[in-house]
């Protein structure tokens, strides 16, 4: 089935003021220095009876949350009972998880637990940036300093896998590509996937029309060196479900393979990758290099996207 024939579970708002969280809902978010993560401020004054849960500190092994500006809770990420209690304590009929200002290692275990404990309705939220301040892929001759950009490969809490595939040839490496080819090169070096089994996913259409070209340009060297350009798949850049379907397609073409998914591209794609890993736990591994985000790396706010995650997982699982 072509991706366009699959149901999509996304509401798109061109103007942020057209959207406000439902009354009686819980809205989890992380405020960062980026302009696009400040949209919640408008809603705080506009809507009532909403639990605004601000993750005010995002550490590698725990986070600290603040509810409606008052109570603080520390939650360890490798502690299911703490994540569960935290979610239960703030639960309401609708749970919004705004991934815009949250790191993958924070929102992914929260999402996993929210789906596991059966939160009634889980929605993901994402605000596209107007532009990336450093969006151009590094030029030839420019030196890309990974040590300033990533902390290195380590599992995302809640997604640690210890089992090895029965046959090491039965591994597909699926990087969800961003602009920074050095990150892809580093991951390939660390993962060492079998030859011919790198299946990159590129966001097409991109947030902006020119972004797919930046992606190709930035990743040109590792794509050429490994000939992975031959296996490129496309998925709508701001659509997690489109990424999910692409992963399904790769999995069905490589039955019995372990999919090593590297969510180094757009956040919606990462959401698609994480959802895929939650639903297909036995055949999936997330490989992530934990970037160090620069403050104000993006400018402006573009579209707001609301993803009906639980409706989607109910349908596919």
Partner 1 sequence: MIFKPEEQLSQLFGSYKAEWLKGKLYEFFTEPSYFPELKTSRPCMLIGGRGTGKTTALRCLSYEGQFALSQFKKEEIPNWNYYGLYYRVNTNRVTAFKGPELEDKRWKNLFAHYFNLLICDLLLKFLAWYKKHVPYSEQLDENACNKIGKSLNLQDVKTTRDLVNSVDNLRIEFEAFINNVATQPFPLLSAQGAPIDTLIESITQLQQFQDKTFFFLLDEYENFEDYQQQVVNTLIKHSGQHYSFKIGVRELGLRCRNTLNENEQLIHPADYVRINIAEKLAGSIFNDFALQVCNTRISKLRKIDESIIDDVSKALPALSENEEALKLGISDLIKDMRDILRVVNGSIELSPLELYFIKIWAEGKNLDKKDVLKEYMDKYSDWTERFSNYKHALLYSLRKGKVGIRKYYAGWDTFIKLSATNIRYLLELVDQTLLLHLKKGRSLSEPVSFETQTLAAQNSGKKNLSELEGLSIHGAKLTKLLLGLGRIFQVMAVDVSSHAPEVNQFYIDDNLDSTQERLELEDLLTAAVMHLALIRFSGNKPVDEADTKDYDYMIHPIYSPFFIFSYRKKRKMKMSGTQLLGLISNPRDTIREVLEQNNRDYEEELPDQLRLFEEFYFGHSG
Of 21, 30, 129, 158, the residue at the interface with partner 1 (CB under 8 A) is 158
Of residues 5 and 145, the one with the C-beta less far from partner 1: 145
According to the binding rule CB under 8 A, does residue 152 interact with partner 1? yes
According to the binding rule CB under 8 A, does residue 256 interact with partner 1? no
Minimum gap (Å) between residue 29 Cβ and partner 1: 24
CA distance 156 to 116: 17
DSSP reduced 3-state for 140: coil
Q: Which stretch binds partner 1 (CB under 8 A): 28-36, 92-100, 190-198, 246-254?
A: 190-198
According to the binding rule CB under 8 A, does residue 48 interact with partner 1? no
Q: Which of residues 284-303 bind partner 1 (CB under 8 A)?
A: 285, 287
Minimum gap (Å) between residue 284 Cβ and partner 1: 12
**Strands in 104-200 per DSSP E:** 121-132, 171-176
| Residue 228 DSSP label | G
What count of other Cβ atoms lies within 10 Å of the Cβ of residue 87? Answer: 21
Of 95, 119, 125, 150, the residue at the interface with partner 1 (CB under 8 A) is 150
Distances (CA, A) of 247 to 13, 67, 118, 179, 257: 26, 36, 24, 20, 12
According to the binding rule CB under 8 A, does residue 258 interact with partner 1? no
Of 79, 204, 299, 316, the residue at the interface with partner 1 (CB under 8 A) is 79
Of 71, 117, 154, 311, the residue at the interface with partner 1 (CB under 8 A) is 154
Minimum gap (Å) between residue 59 Cβ and partner 1: 9
Of residues 94 and 110, the one with the C-beta less far from partner 1: 110
Of residues 216 and 245, the one with the C-beta less far from partner 1: 216
Specify whether the backbone of 70 is left (phi greater than 0), alpha (psi in -120 to 50) or beta: alpha
The strands making up 258-263's β-sheet, listed across from edge to edge, are 233-235, 201-203, 171-176, 258-263, 284-286
In the block, which residue shows the tokens 């239960």? Answer: 88
The strands making up 10-13's β-sheet, listed across from edge to edge, are 10-13, 298-308, 121-132, 94-98, 26-29, 51-58, 62-67, 71-76
CA distance 61 to 261: 21
Minimum gap (Å) between residue 188 Cβ and partner 1: 8
Minimum gap (Å) between residue 61 Cβ and partner 1: 5
In the complex, the residues that contact partner 1 under the rule CB under 8 A are 60-61, 76-82, 140-148, 150-155, 157-164, 166, 169, 181-186, 188-196, 221-222, 225-226, 285, 287
């Amino acid at each position: 089935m072509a991706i366009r024939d699959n149901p999509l579970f996304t509401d798109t708002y061109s103007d942020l003021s057209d959207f406000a969280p439902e009354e009686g809902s819980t809205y989890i978010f992380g405020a960062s220095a980026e302009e696009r993560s400040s949209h919640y401020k408008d809603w705080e004054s506009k809507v009532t009876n909403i639990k605004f849960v601000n993750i005010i500190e995002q550490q590698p092994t725990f986070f600290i949350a603040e509810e409606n500006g008052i109570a603080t809770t520390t939650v360890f990420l490798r502690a299911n009972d703490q994540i569960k209690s935290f979610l239960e304590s703030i639960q309401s009929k609708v749970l919004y998880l705004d991934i815009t200002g949250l790191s993958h290692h924070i929102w992914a275990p929260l999402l996993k637990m929210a789906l596991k404990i059966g939160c009634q309705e889980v929605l993901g939220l994402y605000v596209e940036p107007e532009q990336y301040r450093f969006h151009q892929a590094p030029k030839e001759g420019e030196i890309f300093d990974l040590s300033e950009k990533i902390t290195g490969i380590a599992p995302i809490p809640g997604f640690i896998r210890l089992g090895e595939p029965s046959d090491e040839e039965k591994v597909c490496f699926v990087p969800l590509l961003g602009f920074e080819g050095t990150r892809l090169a580093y991951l390939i070096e660390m993962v060492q996937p079998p030859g011919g089994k790198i299946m990159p996913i590129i966001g097409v259409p991109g947030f902006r029309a020119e972004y797919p070209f930046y992606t190709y340009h930035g990743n040109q060297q590792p794509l050429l060196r490994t000939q992975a350009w031959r296996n490129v798949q496309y998925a709508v850049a701001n659509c997690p479900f489109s990424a999910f379907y692409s992963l399904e397609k790769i999995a069905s073409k490589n039955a019995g393979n372990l999919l090593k998914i590297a969510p180094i591209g757009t956040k919606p794609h990462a959401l698609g990758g994480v959802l895929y890993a939650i639903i297909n736990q036995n055949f999936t591994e997330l490989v992530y290099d934990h970037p160090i985000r620069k403050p104000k790396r993006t400018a402006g706010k573009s579209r707001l996207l609301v993803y009906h995650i639980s409706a989607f997982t109910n349908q596919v699982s």
